[in-house]
Chain A
Amino acid sequence: MDLAYTPEQQAFRAEARAWLEAHVPKEPLASFDTAAGFAAHCEWEAKLNAGGWAMVPWPTEYGGRGADLLEWLVFEEEYYRAGAPGRVNQNGIFLLGPTIMEYGTPEQKARYLPPMASSEEVWAQGWSEPNAGSDMAAIQTTAIRDGDHYVINGQKTWASRGAFAHWLFGLFRTDPDSDRHRGLSFVLVPLDTPGVTVRPIEKLNGKQAFAEVFFDDARVPAANLLGEEGRGWNVAMATAGFERGLMLRSPARFQSTARKLVELYRANAADCEPALRDRVLDAWRGAEAYTLETYRTVSRLLEGGKIGAEASLNKIFWSELDLAMHETALEILGDRGELLAGAPSATDVGDWLDGYLFALSGPIYAGTNEIQRNVIAERILGLPRR
């Protein structure tokens, strides 16, 4: 066990810090769930990519730096420390990217990864359907092979970033006679394909963060299949692992929230009931525990280990931590906790309310926490299936 960074890691941190300090926008960008904010975030991503910082763990040929996962954690720490913009293409770079790295052909890697790193192509997810939510194996949307194309019919929903994205990745039933986990395939779909209709859905916070996507004889090239036909479930589980695990939600995000929460408490401590002190401590403890556990996991991965069902532990932990931190912040704000950002008395309330509304979705997306608890119980603890 050695918990000190190497001189190389320290140099990497210094380089990332210097670049970010010079380039991070001084004013926060508008939400990427608005048309103007989406464009501004894509512009930022292009700048990040030009600096070589869009996806540091990727090989240099795809726009990365060939960094290892520890360096990636260091980069994330610097990114959040600098208060840099949220990653508009997170579905692409953190979820699909690593999946393509594992399952993609050399041609697919060369085709999809560079424009993903630059956010010229922003990705939406296509998992859920009206009748397939937690029960994802109930997917009905079909992609039937016709010559060198798949013809897609059906409907996806809750496609995060769907309102503005250029591409969608998801699971489709390529064998119409199959059921459950068999006969599904992982297909990449340009959202401007004729026969594809995107209808944005307003979120709880009023923003157009996700969408319904309708497919009506939409034809996509057979070359857009990722992995083997009929083996899409396995490919999707790898993506889900990245989503639940360390890629999508690196610890720096929660450490940043915890630090802001401590500052908020310091500024308002005189007006706070004593129990809030404990909740602030618990929030920070949670963020530190998540950080330590992530470093432990990364150390194990670098020694050749694998992450499997453990990703479900992560997902429960970060989503419930995030919610608890935002609930605590609103408690600290007291009567001002319900004010929208534009209210005259909302000068120092920060974006805690908006963050709270977003945090509420944490226990739902990426597989509900109930599903994660089933996974832990059955696949880690070995309790009997139903």
Chain B
Amino acid sequence: MRFTFGEDQLLFQTTVRDFLAKECTPEHLRELWDAGRSHSPALWSKLAELGIAGLRVPESHDGMGLDEVDAVLLFEELGRAGLPEPVIATAAVAAPLLTECGDAARAERWLGPIARGEAIVAVGHAESPFVVDADVADLLLLTDADALHAVEPAGVDLVAEPANDPSRRLFTVRWQPSEATRLADGERGRALQAAAFDRGALASAAEALGATDRLIDLSVEYASQRVQFGVPIGSFQAVKHQLANLKVALEYARPVVHRAAHSVAQGHPERAVHVSLAKLAACEAATRAAGTSLQVHGAIGYTWEQDLHIWMRRAWSLERAWGRSALHRARAADWLLGPDARIGPGTTFAGERDG
């Protein structure tokens, strides 16, 4: 029993944080927005060099061979930076899905290119009518009932669906499932879809933690320098207490997300519930942080020019990514009130493999 991260894991997090602070600035994001894009091939190459694209790709295919516990701290950094690149779909979801799909030829075809930053994968799922970043994808993984299909761009027709967060580029995808595109179906198809959904939701939860942390930092910074009535507004309890509430929400969401990462990595029998608890807690913290941060900033926060809304929009869009809160709430409540729930003192780590 040791609920902490190792030095290597923390060091990698710091490396990614420093890298993104330099490369993914608000100016960079605004340039992309102005160009109607969310993806920068140059930045993607650098992310691949750093190992981000191939985090979950086996080392035999040029990847890092890491698991969700290693990755969860890095996903948090994506949220802190507001990085709009398709990391979740490609690195967190598609890579392990292709590794596990049982189709060796397709795994061989795509895993290496993903790790080397040469291929981007978009992933659709049954809980959303839209596919994120479908226009920049070299491969789309799409669902049709219990089947999972791998479709190349020539086989799809895309309709852009502009959304509130310019970093979240949504598409309706029109396509025809066929024998040739089918990756898996039946029991295996359902299991792969469930695993993909849990991994996407987990990564989104981690991103939401990072976005929350950034919103708190921005608000603390602003409240410390903005002077009214002759003092920084951050010296007023009305402001202090609201920001303290965000810190409480963040620090009690974080271990829930880290635990879910461990459960997904270990194949814990209740991993889907743990993921839903993580997504709920992190997105509650993030959307609360968005509202409070705007209030702390006042009118300046309500402008397009101020960078605050980059993370407000991330908070809102992450709440909708990989299952909205209502869905995760229902999954968790159904388990809690269902026949399989073992709860109470001493049950939290039941179901872990024995040490």
State the A residues within 8 Å of B (CB). 1-7, 9-10, 13, 70, 74, 76-78, 80-81, 251-252, 255-256, 258-259, 262, 265-266, 269, 277-278, 280-281, 284-286, 288-293, 295-296, 298-300, 302-303, 310, 313, 316-317, 370, 372-374, 376-378, 380-386
**In the complex the two chains form, is B252's CB within 8 Å of A303's CB?**
no
**In the complex the two chains form, is B69's CB within 8 Å of A377's CB?**
no
A267 to B92, CA, bound (A): 41
| B252 contact from A10, A265, A293, Cβ within 8 A | A293
- Given the known interface contacts A4-B355, A289-B255, A383-B223, the answer about A296 and B4 at a Cβ–Cβ threshold of 8 Å is yes
A385 to B234, CA, bound (A): 8
- Give the one of A269, A284, A288, A374 with max B CB within 10 A: A288
Is B348 part of the binding interface, using a Cβ–Cβ cutoff of 8 Å? yes
Give min CB distance, B271 to chain A, whole Å. 12
| A292 contact from B259, B266, B355, Cβ within 8 A | B259
Give the residues from 84 to 117 in chain B that come closer than 8 angstroms, CB to CB, to chain A: none
**In the complex the two chains form, is A6's CB within 8 Å of B1's CB?**
yes
Chain A residue numbers with a CB within 8 Å of B348 are 255, 288, 291-292, 295
Give the residues from 35 to 66 in chain B that come closer than 8 angstroms, CB to CB, to chain A: none
Given contacts A9-B1, A292-B348, A383-B232, 10 further A-B contacts (CB under 8 A): A3-B3, A4-B349, A10-B354, A74-B346, A262-B337, A278-B329, A285-B280, A286-B252, A381-B243, A381-B244
Chain B residue numbers with a CB within 8 Å of A372 are 244
0/1 interface trace, chain B 180-217, chain A, CB 8 Å (1 if under) = 00000000000000000000000000000000000010
**In the complex the two chains form, is B345's CB within 8 Å of A385's CB?**
no
Chain A residue numbers with a CB within 8 Å of B252 are 286, 289-290, 293, 313, 317
A163 to B243, CA, bound (A): 39
A to B contact number (C-beta, < 8 Å): 183
Give min CB distance, B332 to chain A, whole Å. 6
- Give the one of B220, B244, B345 with max A CB within 10 A: B345
Chain B residue numbers with a CB within 8 Å of A286 are 252
Is B344 part of the binding interface, using a Cβ–Cβ cutoff of 8 Å? yes
**In the complex the two chains form, is A277's CB within 8 Å of B343's CB?**
no
Chain B residue numbers with a CB within 8 Å of A6 are 1, 355
Give min CB distance, A51 to chain B, whole Å. 19
**In the complex the two chains form, is B255's CB within 8 Å of A295's CB?**
yes
A313 to B252, CA, bound (A): 9
A321 to B237, CA, bound (A): 22
| A386 contact from B235, B337, B354, Cβ within 8 A | B235
| B336 contact from A5, A262, A302, Cβ within 8 A | A262
A10 to B266, CA, bound (A): 20
**In the complex the two chains form, is B329's CB within 8 Å of A2's CB?**
no
Chain B residue numbers with a CB within 8 Å of A300 are 4
Q: Would you give 20 A-B contacts (Cβ < 8 Å), ordered by A? A: A3-B352, A5-B354, A74-B346, A78-B345, A251-B345, A255-B343, A265-B337, A285-B256, A289-B252, A289-B253, A292-B3, A296-B4, A302-B2, A317-B248, A373-B244, A374-B237, A381-B220, A383-B243, A386-B231, A386-B235
Chain A residue numbers with a CB within 8 Å of B346 are 13, 74, 77-78, 81, 252
Chain B residue numbers with a CB within 8 Å of A298 are 3
Residue of B nearest to A305 (CB): B4
Give min CB distance, B241 to chain A, whole Å. 4
Give min CB distance, A325 to chain B, whole Å. 13
| A277 contact from B1, B255, B258, B337, Cβ within 8 A | B337
Give min CB distance, B138 to chain A, whole Å. 34
Residue of B nearest to A386 (CB): B235
A296 to B4, CA, bound (A): 6
Give min CB distance, A289 to chain B, whole Å. 5
**In the complex the two chains form, is B277's CB within 8 Å of A384's CB?**
no
**In the complex the two chains form, is A377's CB within 8 Å of B343's CB?**
no
Is B131 part of the binding interface, using a Cβ–Cβ cutoff of 8 Å? no
Give min CB distance, B212 to chain A, whole Å. 13
| A377 contact from B243, B254, B262, B353, Cβ within 8 A | B243
Is B5 part of the binding interface, using a Cβ–Cβ cutoff of 8 Å? yes
Is B333 part of the binding interface, using a Cβ–Cβ cutoff of 8 Å? yes
Residue of B nearest to A302 (CB): B2
Chain B residue numbers with a CB within 8 Å of A386 are 231, 235
**In the complex the two chains form, is B235's CB within 8 Å of A385's CB?**
yes
Chain B residue numbers with a CB within 8 Å of A317 are 248, 252
**In the complex the two chains form, is A4's CB within 8 Å of B352's CB?**
yes
Is B251 part of the binding interface, using a Cβ–Cβ cutoff of 8 Å? yes
- Given the known interface contacts A3-B262, A296-B258, the answer about A285 and B332 at a Cβ–Cβ threshold of 8 Å is yes
Residue of A nearest to B240 (CB): A377
A81 to B350, CA, bound (A): 14
Chain A residue numbers with a CB within 8 Å of B245 are 373
A278 to B69, CA, bound (A): 29
**In the complex the two chains form, is A299's CB within 8 Å of B336's CB?**
no
Is B281 part of the binding interface, using a Cβ–Cβ cutoff of 8 Å? yes
Give min CB distance, A323 to chain B, whole Å. 14
| A289 contact from B244, B256, B266, B332, Cβ within 8 A | B256
Give min CB distance, B231 to chain A, whole Å. 8
Is B176 part of the binding interface, using a Cβ–Cβ cutoff of 8 Å? no
Chain A residue numbers with a CB within 8 Å of B232 are 383-384
Chain B residue numbers with a CB within 8 Å of A81 are 344-346
Chain A residue numbers with a CB within 8 Å of B224 are 382-384
- Give the one of B255, B346, B347 with max A CB within 10 A: B346
Give min CB distance, A94 to chain B, whole Å. 17
**In the complex the two chains form, is A382's CB within 8 Å of B1's CB?**
no
**In the complex the two chains form, is B333's CB within 8 Å of A278's CB?**
yes
